[in-house]
Amino acid sequence: MNFSGRSFLFVALGCGLTFLPASRTHAQQTDDPALKARPAAGQEEGSPDEPDPLKRKRSDSAEFKAQKELRQELHGAFKTWLDQDVAYIISDEERKAFKSLGNDEEREAFIEQFWLRRNPNPDSPDNEFREEHYRRIQYANDHYAAGKPGWKTDRGHIYISFGPPDSTESHPSGGSYNRPLDEGGGETATFPFEVWHYRYLEGVGDNIDIEFVDTCQCGDYHFTIDRGEKDALAKVPGAGLTQWESIGMAKKADRFKGGMESLGTGPLESSNQSKQFDRIEMAAKLFAPPPIKFHDLESAISEHKILGGQIFPFDVRTDFVKVTSSTVLVPITLQIKNRDVTFVTKDGVAKGVVNILGKVTTLTHKTVQTFEDTVSVEQPAELLQASLDRKSIYWKAVPLLPGLYRLDVAIKDVNNPDHVGIYGRSLDVPTYHDEKLGTSSLILSDKMYPVSSHDIGQGNCVIGNIHVCPRVTANAATPVNYKRNQELNFWMQVYNLGINDQTKANEAKVTYQITDTATNTVVFEKQQDSKDFGEHSDQLTVEKTMPIAGLQPGKYKVTIKVNDEISKQEIAQSAPFVVE
């Protein structure tokens, strides 16, 4: 199955786009001194009797033809840009808008704005997105060409659209192949094939495997949803049998009696049948733009436009929690004041509804995560006024690889469609090196408690087996507020502790401090051994609940210090708070 069918032709100057020049017109030619000085055939140089044929006025039909050719050549360059250079990245709306433009000046302005909208740093003269896009085209042409430019191939299409895979299983020569059970088992020989694995593709899903097979053995790997297509012995009687075929429980001819994959009968046949439509759906998503529910919010995010009218204010907090050595969980917490939401009362119930759209993109504007949700706030009508001083929290945890990203969030008040708020900032996801002591974010929370075994890792504000919902402020430097009748809850994880070779346990000192920032005086301090936390691995979780009734109103900060006695490393995290 080959989904490609569009072509690129571009001239790159540096990393920008340069259109091919138009042919010289007759008027341009007559300005050339060499042409002016050249005598006509049969005429002596300087003769005044015969007119210069190069200065002779063209007929109306010839003039019209010349102008038409000039327009077609310029149009051809713009058509190349539309149908080839940006064929895989331009939206349907942008394509329609470009086709409706009336002159080349408008088209040139459109192209400039097209790249500017995708520039992760609009103030910079360099456009990293455009540079990465043309780099991918060049890479595809250099590595995937097969009797046609590399960008035209299915591998080139996927590479240009999604970038390099996270891992590749490559069989460039085919040959002997032991099928996994989900492909029928048994041994066969294959055509050359590759399987590209992506951990996550926006609009497609998690852990995506994309298979390409070169059945012509000419270097042209095409995309396929049939894992049996790579079997070079599929049509050879008695050869390359599956596990069940070799013991007489199935016939090889049955592989080709229908179905979307020619894997044949096997121990996992029913599971494969249930997944066939999933593979078709995946193929459709790979070659189509991801759907967006909240198109108006998507526009607000992608265009980074200045909003008119009343702004819908909200606060955002991001935290970082290590999952594996290469994956970081990023909890994103949105806080909205009930007073800013428009409530509609019906049947004695006041209800406010907020649409939320979030997007995480790389520096080259590749979307790596999105989340869309609708949050409702309901109150009995008679209690609405008292609830307006409360705040509503929306929490979403997204897994990311370490690196620099951009986080954009847009919200809309459904009962007041003109009430929209947007938020954008960089997101620097840390790298947790194996030999270096590290910590998660230090989270100050309203409530903190263990969840049931059924809710571990699931639900709002749940990290692992703990419910811990961060308090949110306008920015990281602004302290959170507590009243003296409340409790201070804080949570933090420590990573890469040293392990004693004999006891197979960690050995570290954990110190809590509360400091009065006005006087820089430590008003509370306690130290514990890491063994007190009941964990003997290279990771431990610090969870602490403290009453703050004994603290006088003022500004404070809580600090957690960790001293690893095995690796001889120290690390500390602090967070400010205010007691009212």
How far is Cα 201 from Cα 256, in angstroms, rounded to an integer?
Answer: 32
CATH code matching the domain that covers 433-580, chosen among 1.10.10.60, 2.60.40.2550, 1.10.3720.10, 3.40.109.10: 2.60.40.2550
- Taking the chain (580 residues) in consecutive chunks of 10 residues, what is each chunk's mean pLDDT? 38 35 38 40 45 57 57 64 84 79 81 77 70 87 88 91 91 91 87 93 86 93 90 87 83 73 69 67 74 60 63 92 85 93 92 91 81 88 89 89 91 88 91 90 90 72 87 87 91 90 87 93 91 78 89 93 93 93
Q: Where in the chain is the domain with CATH 2.60.40.10?
A: 292-432
CATH of domain 292-432: 2.60.40.10
What are 391-394's contacts with CB under 8 Å, separation 24+?
A: 391/335, 391/336, 391/337, 391/338, 392/335, 392/336, 392/337, 392/338, 392/341, 392/354, 393/333, 393/334, 393/335, 393/460, 393/461, 393/469, 393/472, 394/333, 394/334, 394/336, 394/356
Backbone angles phi and psi of 562, in degrees to 5: -125, 125
DSSP at 179? -
Is residue 6 within 8 Å of residue 84, measured between CB atoms? Answer: yes
pTM of the model: 0.53
**pLDDT score recorded for residue 245:** 83
The pLDDT, as a whole number, for residue 16 is 37
Beta strand 193-201 with 167-171 is antiparallel
pLDDT of residue 264: 66
Region(s) of the chain under CATH 2.60.40.2550: 433-580
Residue 400 identity: L
pLDDT value at position 213? 96
CA dist 490 to 58, 214, 440, 444, 479, Å? 85, 56, 12, 5, 14
Pairing verdict, β 480-482 and 569-579? parallel
Tell me 311's DSSP state. Answer: B
Distances in Å between the Cα of 76 and the Cα atoms of 17, 149, 453 are 15, 19, 63
- Res 505: pLDDT: 85
* Residues facing residue 205 across a β-bridge: 201
Residues forming a β-bridge with 494: 439, 540
Which pLDDT score, from 0 to 100, does residue 295 have? 60
